[in-house]
Structure 1
Amino acid sequence: MSHSSGFSTPSSPFIANPQDDGTSRLKKKLASLDYQHGQLKDLFEIERTRNLTRTKDLERDLESKSRAYDANVSDLKFVHDENVQLKEQLRLMSQQLQSSNQENEYLRSELGTKTGLLDKHLQEFQEIEKHLEEVVALKDQELRYKNEEYRSYKEAQTRELEIKTARIGELGEQLRLKDVQISELTDRNLRSDESNARKLYEKECNSQLEYIRELEKKNLELSNKLREHQSRHENLQILKHEKDSMMVKLANLQKLDLQRQQLVVEHDKLARKVERWTDNEKQCSELRTLNQELQTRLEFASQETTQTKQDYVALQSKLIESNNKYNELKSQLAQKDTETRKHENNIKLLQQEIVFLKDRLDNVTEANTKRGIGLQNTERFDKLVGLLDSYKQQLQQLKQETTGQKRRRTSEVEKPVVRERVLELRDNPASNHERVTRKMITSLREENEQLKAVKLNDENQVPRAVYERLGAELEQAQQEIRNLTKRMKRLREMFSSKAARFNEIIHLLLGYKIEMLSDTKLKMYPKFNNASFIQVDLSRSGTENGRVLDENGIRVKLPSQGGFEKVDVDNLIRFWVLEKQEPCCFFNSLNLELYDKAPAGVWGRNTG
C-alpha cells in the first residue's frame, strides 16, 4: 500500500522522466525566444536611434528652412513694398522735375525781359540823373550867388535905413528945436519985427519940405528895391521846390536800383534752384539705378523663395517618410511589447509550475528516503535540482532584462519636453485622436487583463470573439475618423469664414487689418492710410528689461507725401511702447495721427 501510494501516476512529465523531450524543447524554445528577443531589441534600438537622429536632423533642417523661408517671405514683401513706394516717389519726383523745368524756363524768359527793361530804365534814369545833377548844380550856384547879393544888399539897406532913421530922428530933433526957435521968434516977434521973423520961418519951412521930398524919393527907391528882392526870394522858393522834386526823383531812382538788386538776388536764387533741380535729376537717375538693383534683388529673392519652397516640400516629404518609418518602428515595438508580455505570462506560468514541481519533488524525495530508494533516483533528483537552479537563473535574467527595458522605456517617456503654448480649439482633431487612442488603450488593457486571466493552450491562438471585437472596433474607429475628417473640413471652412469676419470686425472697430506672416510676425494695415503698414515681431517680447516689446519689435512704414511725413512715429514708439509699455495706446495714437494728418475730405471729415 505504501509502495503504491509512493509511486502514484504523476501529473507532470518532469516526475515521470526528468530528461523528457518537453523540458529540452521548452529550454530550446526559451533560448531561441530570448535570442530572438535580444536580436530584435538590439535592431529596434539601433533603428530607433538612427531614425531619431535622422528625424531630429530633418526637423532641425525643416525648422531652419521654414525660418529662412518666413524671413525671405517677409523680406520679399518688405522689398516689394519699398520698391512700390520708390517707384511712386520716382514718378512724383520726375513730375516735379518736369514742372520745375517748365517753371524755370518761364522764369528765365520773364527774368530776361525784366532785366532788359530794367537796363533800359536804368540808362534813362542815369541820363536824367546826370542832367538833373547839372541843373541842380547850376541852380544851386546861381542861388548861392543871388543869396549872397541879397544878403549884402539887405545889409546895405538895413544900414542905410538905420542911417536914415537916425537922420530922421536928428531932423525931428532939429524940427523940435526949430519949433522952439519959432515959439521964441514968435515971442520976439511980439516984441520985435514980426515980418522978418515970418520970412525966415517960411524959408526954413521950405528947406525942410524939400528935404522931406528927397527923403520920400529915396524911400520909394528903397521900396522898389525891396519888391525886386521879394520877387527874387519867390524865385528862390520855386527853385527850392524844384530841388525837392529832383530829390524825390532821385529817391525813386534809388528805389528802382534796390528793386534791380532784389531782382538780381532772385535771379541768383533761381540759378541755385536750377542747380538743385539738376542735382535732383542726378538723384533720380541714381534712384532709377537703385530701383533696377532692387528689381534684380527681388527676382533673385523670388528665385530663392521658390527654391526654398521646393526644399521645404522635399523636407516635408522626407519628414513624412521618417514619421512613417517611426510609426512602423513604434508598431513593431508595440508588437514586441505584446510578445514580451506573452513571454512574461509564460514565465509566470513556468514559475508556478516550477514551484509546483519543486513541492512535488520535495514530497517525492521525502517518500524515497523513507522507502530507501537507490542511487539512480538520487542522481535524477540532483539533475532536477540543477535544472531548477538553471531555470531560476534564466528567470532572474529575464526579470532583469524586462525591468531594464521598462526602466529605459519610462526614462524615454519621462524626458523633459519643452513646453509651448499652442492655441487650439476644444474640439480639434488632436484632442479627438487623443480620446480615440485613450479609448483603444483602455479596451486593450481590459483585453490584456482578460487574456492574463485566461490560460491559453497555444500562444499563437487568438479567440474568435477577440478578433471580431477588434474588427468591430477598427471599423468603428475608421467611421469615427471619416466623421471627424468631415467635421474638420466643416470646421476649417467655418473657421476661415469666422476669421475673415473677425478680421473685418477688427478693421471696422479698431482700425487695423491684420495679416499673419508667421507664428511671431504680423503686419497691420491702418484704416486711414492703406499705403502704410506696421510690422510687429512678437518674438521681441520678454527681453531682459521685462518689456512687452523693444524698439526693434515694431517697424512702421509711412508714405512720404500727403502730409503723412509730419507724423512723429519714433516719438510715439518711445513714449507708448518703451516708457509706458502700452502698445495698444501706440496703435490708437497712430490711427488718430493718421486721421488728423490726412487731407481734408479724404475720409469724409467735416472740415466746417
Structure 2
Amino acid sequence: MFINFTILYTDILKLENEKANLQNEIASLQNQINIYEQTELKVHSSELIKQNEILQETVKDLKTENASLKEKIMLLDNQIDILERAVGRGEYNKETIRVLEMKDNPASKEFSLRENRLQGLATENQDLKTKLKELYQILENHPTITLELTEDNDSEKETIRVFPIQSYLNLEEENKQLIDQVADKEKRMTRLKEVWKAKAQEYREAVYSLLGYKVEFLENGRVRLTSMYSEQDDHSLVFTSDEDNLGTMQLVDGGNTEYIKSLDNLIKYWVVERGSIPCFLSSLTMDLIGKTALGPIGREMDMTSGRISGLGGNQEFPTLE
C-alpha cells in the first residue's frame, strides 16, 4: 500500500492553519466578551449608582414629608382638643349646624321669661330716669311745690304722677308668674297627696292583712291599734313614742278601761317584764282567736269604705285624706 506523504503533509498544514485561525477567532471572541462584560458592568454599575441616588432622594423626600405630616398631626390634635372643648361648652357653627329643639321647652321658657323681665326692667329704669328728670325740673322751677303720690283732682297741692306705668306692668307680670308657680305647685302637691293616700291605704291594708291590726295615726305621735278579732269597737290599744323619740313605742291607753284591765297579765308578762310589744300583740291575737266563735276568720275589712264588719257590728275605719 502506497501512502502519499505529500498529500498528508499538505492536509496537516491545512489543519494547523485552520487550528490557528480558530484559536485566533476564539481569542478575538474572548476579547470581545471581556470588552462586553467590562462595558456592561460599567453600564450596570452606573445604573445602580443612579438608582441609588434616586432612592436616596426619595428617602430624603419621604423623611421631609414625614416630618411635615407629624407637624400636621400635632396641629390637628390641638385643633381636635379645641373643638372637643368647644363641643363640651355647647358651641357650634350657626351657619353649618342647625340645632333642633322643642319649641316649648323649659330652657326656652326660662330664657324668654328672663329676657322679658330684663326688657321690662330696662324700660322701667328708663321711665324712672325720665320721671326723675321731670321731677328735678319741676322742683327747680317751683321750689315751693309739695309733691304727693296721689291722683286726687280736688287736692289744692299740685299733683304729679311719679309711678311709671312700666313698673306697674312689671309687677303685674311678676304677680302672674307667681300665681302660675303657685298653681303648678298646688297641682304637684295634689298629685303627691293622691300618691301618698294610695300608698298609705296600701300600707294599712298590708298591715291589717299580715298582722291583723287596724292602724290609726292620732295626734302627738300616738297610734291606735284595733285587732280584727276584737269583740267590741272600743277594744283598742293606744301607743306613743318614747320620750327620746328613738322609734320605740309605749302602751299608754286603751279604748275601754275594763278591756285594758283584762289584759293585765299579758301586759305585765310581755310589756313590763320583757319589754316586747310585738310579742304582746301576737299573744293578744292568739288569745282573741281562742275567745271568738269565728276562729281564724276574724272580721273582714273593706278598705274602700273604711269599715270593719264582723264582731261587734260595723266599726268605722276613717280613710286617710
Q: State the TM bucket, normalised to the shorter chain.
A: 0.3 to 0.5
Higher relative CO (Cα under 8 Å, sequence separation at least 6) belongs to 1
**Hey, which of these two has a bigger chunk of strand by percent?**
2
**Hey, which of these two has a bigger chunk of helix by percent?**
1
Larger Rg: 1
